[in-house]
Structure 1
Amino acid sequence: MDNYKLYIFDWDGTLMDSIARIVTSIQTAAERLSLKPPSDDDAKSIIGLSLVPALQKLFPDLEAHTVKEMIAAYKAQYSTTEVASPLFDHVKEMLSLLKAQNKLVAVATGKARQGLNHMLDETQLHQHFDMTICADESVSKPAPDMIQQLLEKLNVKPEEAVMIGDSRHDLNMANNAGVASIGITLGADKRESLDACQPKAIVDSILELKALVTGH
């Protein structure tokens, strides 16, 4: 898995340990709008999707104006919660090795641009990526659009790219775009769900992923 030209990473649950923060923020935002909070598993199930389809899946009876209120409440809660969301250990080392090997490195995330830029600033990872694409710049996963845009902009063929993610939405996006995928079990979905998407490999840690994609 270390012979691809382009390595595309999801963000939440793949590079950053942010699943608990997302789940808590969704549940608290729902409570503030007098909605029944989703269970932990239900909240995890939508991670990776863009916010509007994610909330429509969790709360299918919400009217459009309430969805907007829920988005605002979620963003406010996410930005102020005390639940930590650090990078997983060895992420910077892995990304640095990929760049040293002259690989192209990208992000395809369900986050909005403002949110991702804030995280890139906070983690000082801007220089590690050749391109990033966000939910408000494309069609929500699992549609192939994010990957297709990255391939076009970076002049990479589908067979030269691999998508790495923690959810079935990531891996199904890869399948829909005709690129290979690697699942990682640190985030939203369990191994069984990832395995059903037929990735090339599934790993349980960043160290294992680093060895797989860099050979070190």
Structure 2
Amino acid sequence: MKLVLFDVDGTLVDSQNIIVAAQQVAFAAHGLEAPSRERSLSIVGLSLIEAFTMLAGPHAPVESLTQSYKDAFATLRLDPAHAEPLFPGALDCLDWLSKREDVILGIATGKTRRGVAHLLERHEWHGVFSTIQTADDAPSKPHPAMIQQAMAEVGVEPHETLMIGDSSFDMAMARAAGVLPVGVSWGFQPVTALNEAGAHHIVDSYAELGTILTGFLRSPSQAANPAPMSLS
């Protein structure tokens, strides 16, 4: 069995617009200047307390900013203008992997349990992921605890595990846990940041990711497994 872990924001879900908008509301509520869009997205992947500490500084009202952000995010989510679409190919990739008998799927995200629950409900993904690690369950990325807990939960070793993400935090977390780090170029951080953080592969599409995953999953004992992923 192989464990394939996915980050959420910037990897599976294009949530950049709602993240930036919710940050702007939170900063405005505290009379603070909101960070630039680039700066706002640079911290995606961290747990919220760590993210707002980086954005506003340790002396800012970080806990209050975090709560304002959560409240704004929940409100904006009701507005169709702030939809969080899946990236092209994400659904096909998860469908392909979920049908394989040699794969365990998991999530490792800076989102809260509540945020992940909304995602699972919206996309009818209940039962797809065997392990879900969130900001409520472990120290913030790039600490390796999320991956370590996921591996322990499903009973796989580091050499049997691959982490897919769009941020330097994902790549550093994967390396710290001793698993294969795979970066995606369509997320919220530049490819140079992923390279510097130790990405073993960086892919430009889910079709390309399918090729990487096929190689990772292939072994003599898996010769009879389903064919490689094909995306339209």
Specify the TM-score bucket, using the shorter chain as the normaliser. over 0.9
**Once the two structures are aligned, what percentage of the paired residues are identical?**
37
Structure 2 Cα separation of the partners of residues 185 and 99 of structure 1 = 23
Residue 70 of structure 1 corresponds to 65
Higher Cα radius of gyration? 2
Residue 93 of structure 1 corresponds to 92
Residue 218 of structure 2 corresponds to none
Residue 13 of structure 1 corresponds to 10
Structure 1 Cα separation of the partners of residues 161 and 58 of structure 2 = 39
Residue 161 of structure 2 corresponds to 161
Residue 115 of structure 1 corresponds to 115
Query: Contact 2:159–2:178 at 8 Å: present in 1 too?
Result: yes
Residue 106 of structure 1 corresponds to 106
The answer to whether 1:56 aligns with 2:53 is: yes
Task: Please give the secondary structure, in 2, of the residue aligned with 1:127.
Answer: coil
The answer to whether 1:128 aligns with 2:128 is: yes
TM-score with structure 2 setting the length: 0.86
Task: Please give the secondary structure, in 1, of the residue aligned with 2:107.
Answer: strand
Alpha-carbon RMSD across the aligned residues, in angstroms, is 1.4
Segments of 5+ residues of structure 1 without an aligned counterpart are: none
Aligned length: 211
Q: What's the CA shift string for 1:76-118, capped at 9, x where partnerless?
A: 2112223221111222221121122220010000001011101
Task: Please give the secondary structure, in 2, of the residue aligned with 1:6.
Answer: strand
Task: Please give the secondary structure, in 2, of the residue aligned with 1:38.
Answer: coil
Structure 2 Cα separation of the partners of residues 162 and 19 of structure 1 = 24
**Displacement after TM superposition at 1:61 (Å):** 4.2
Residue 222 of structure 2 corresponds to none
The answer to whether 1:22 aligns with 2:23 is: no
Structure 2 Cα separation of the partners of residues 101 and 5 of structure 1 = 10
**Displacement after TM superposition at 1:70 (Å):** 0.9
Structure 1 Cα separation of the partners of residues 194 and 154 of structure 2 = 27
Q: What's the CA shift string for 1:162-195, capped at 9, x where partnerless?
A: 1000000001000111111100012111111111
Residue 38 of structure 1 corresponds to 35
Structure 2 Cα separation of the partners of residues 61 and 140 of structure 1 = 16
TM-score with structure 1 setting the length: 0.93
Counterpart of 2:74 (choices 68, 74, 79) is: 79
Segments of 5+ residues of structure 2 without an aligned counterpart are: 215-227
Structure 2 Cα separation of the partners of residues 187 and 34 of structure 1 = 30
Q: Which has the higher contact order (CA 8 A, sep 6+)?
A: 1
